[in-house]
Amino acid sequence: MSGLLAFRHLKNKGSQRLSLSWFSSSDFSRFLHSLPFATVNAEEVSGSKPAEVLNLVQGKWTRSSSWNTIPDPLNGESFIKVSEVDEKGIQPFVESLSKCPKHGLHNPFKAPERYLMLGDVTTKAAHKLSLPEVSDFFAKLIQRVSPKSYEQALGEVYVTQKFLENFCGDQVRFLARSFAVPGNHLGQQSHGFRWPYGPVAIITPFNFPLEIPVLQLMGALYMGNKPLLKVDSKVCIVMEQMLRLLHDCGLPLEDVDFINSDGKTMNKILLEGKPRMTLFTGSSRVAEKLAVDLKGRIKLEDAGFDWKILGPDVQEEDYVAWVCDQDAYACSGQKCSAQSLLFMHENWGKSSLLNKLTSLAARRKLDDLTVGPVLTFTTNAMLDHMNKLLQIKGSKLIFGGEPLQNHSIPAVYGAIKPTAVFIPLEEILKETNYELVTKEIFGPFQIVTEYKHNQIPLVLDALERMHAHLTAAVVSNDLLFQQEIIGNSVNGTTYAGLRARTTGAPQNHWFGPAGDPRGAGIGTPEAIKLVWSCHREIIYDVGPVPKSWTTPKPT
């Protein structure tokens, strides 16, 4: 099925699902052409009708002299033209950052009305995203650039909308809540305040083109910062349209700069513009380079080789198998929280779990995008990695391991069937194998192993040796087992209990790594305050000076 044809097939299925509301499919077509903020129509973007993405700097949408053409991930057609800034064109962005003072656009002592303004903008934006025609627009646009099932794309819009609902009205200023402590004498008090950094930068990846940049951008704005936002060029059209929606809701155009560029150009902007803090979500390799370049002025939500442990209590096999399939293969495994390594207790090894996983994975098809293009690994790269794993003693292919058939996905991207490889636990722990086994493959690929009850220390050793600690799951209602695993691990977002998962983070809990002082969170008030503000202490000491005071001896 060709790219645009496949997308229209999906569009029709999505519209049928949304027809539970009072909009018909014909209404959707009419509304998509009448959204006041939109400059594109997701249903029409194609090689014959390419969309354009611009930059925003100092309150103006601008074009650069060079354009980067983005291939349609479903058929390879050049379907989006991105106006990319090169190193010669960075000066306006550097100047914009330098114009923002270190004390920010607002803080508890300066322009407090901006807290209220941002609360109002958020209220309007939350309402707009709740409208079926708007949520459908963004879901379809996400599907065009980061192919995933309609349900997964709409889920991303839903989480973003619920996040905005959480920070409507006065909730923005409540993020800047202070505290006071009595001093040593009359007139003295210490007050703790949340203080902005001022000029900041946000760099986000392709896999959640709406949710990650919106949540981090709004958090930066709420705390008083002036952000420069860069989204992966493959998907930047989604955030460009969201910025236009925010402007339509009253966000001043000067509050956010939006840049499209390659990594080298963005690195140069960061070095010359000197943002006070940079939030980076993406690969560990780039994260470590930026940490050095920016002298530690950075927060990271980098890659995660995420694990799930199935405990000794086998129950609800159908449900556990379904969650495992979703965690490993939804969005074609292109989630930083995707299940990468599954530890099965020997009791689960004797169950029907692997048979059920095999059947569930076989249901995934390209025509509904429950499996689809992998945007950071080629087919050959994933299969080569699999073949290296299969050379390990005792390893075997459980299912998958083959390219997808009958598609027009360009060779620059990957396309394989959902894949699982079994490797014995003892082999995983060998020095010669561990680095290979724990290499993150950002695609529909996972490692499965089995452990005996007396091998729990080996499982814990495997966890301790990992370098990224984002999400994890302890699937067990055995409280003592939970306690042992949780007490001897560090992952920042860990789910525990029979229904535990590794993916699907909603807006109501912290999502982020642990074990690293540079770790960034997302979603909650705690995450916003940690990432986008620092602590400032004001000690008031107004007197009076005691009437009996005299100048003391020097000390």
Pairwise CA distance, residues 443 & 106, whole Å: 42
Choose, from 249, 324, 331, 336, the residue flagged as catalytic. Answer: 336
Cα–Cα distance between 511 and 358 in angstroms, integer? 29
Residue 544, preceding peptide bond in cis (omega within 30° of 0): yes
417, 371 Cβ separation under 8 angstroms = yes
- 534-541 vs 188-195, strand pairing mode: antiparallel
What percent helix, strand, coil does the chain show, rounded to 5?
Answer: 40, 20, 40
Backbone dihedral angles phi then psi of residue 342, each to the nearest 5 degrees: -110, 115
Greatest alpha-carbon span in the chain: 93
| CB contact at 8 A, 80 and 45 | yes
Reduce the secondary structure of 215-236 to three states and give it as a string: HHHHHHHHCCCEEEEEECCCCH
Both structure tokens of 299: 């927060």
Element containing residue 308 per DSSP (H, E): strand 306-310
**Residues facing 446 on adjacent strands:** 420
Measure the CA–CA gap between 208 and 424, rounded to whole angstroms: 33
- What are the tokens at 516? 């690293």
User: How far is residue 170's CA from residue 119's CA, in Å, rounded to a whole number?
Assistant: 6
Cα separation of the two ends of the chain: 84
Say how far apart CA 212 and CA 231 lie, in whole Å: 10
Angle in degrees, CA 321, 322, 325, rounded to 5: 85
Q: Specify whether the CB–CB gap between 216 and 281 falls below 8 A.
A: yes
CB contact set of 5 (below 8 Å; sequence gap of 6+): none
Alpha helix ranges (H) inside 102-235: 113-130, 132-145, 150-166, 171-174, 211-222
What letter would DSSP give residue 519? B
| Structure tokens belonging to residue 13 | 């299925």
CA-CA distances (angstroms) from residue 180 to 170, 185, 217, 265, 541? 21, 14, 29, 44, 13
As a whole number of angstroms, the distance between CA 255 and CA 224 comes to 10
φ, ψ (nearest 5 deg) of residue 245: -65, -45
Selecting among 43, 156, 301, 450, the annotated active-site residue is 301
Determine the 3-state secondary structure of 195 from DSSP: strand
Active site residue 336: yes
d(CA 107, CA 254): 17
DSSP 375-415: SSS-HHHHHHHHHHHTTSTT-EEEE--SB--S----TTSB-
The set of catalytic residues is: 301, 336
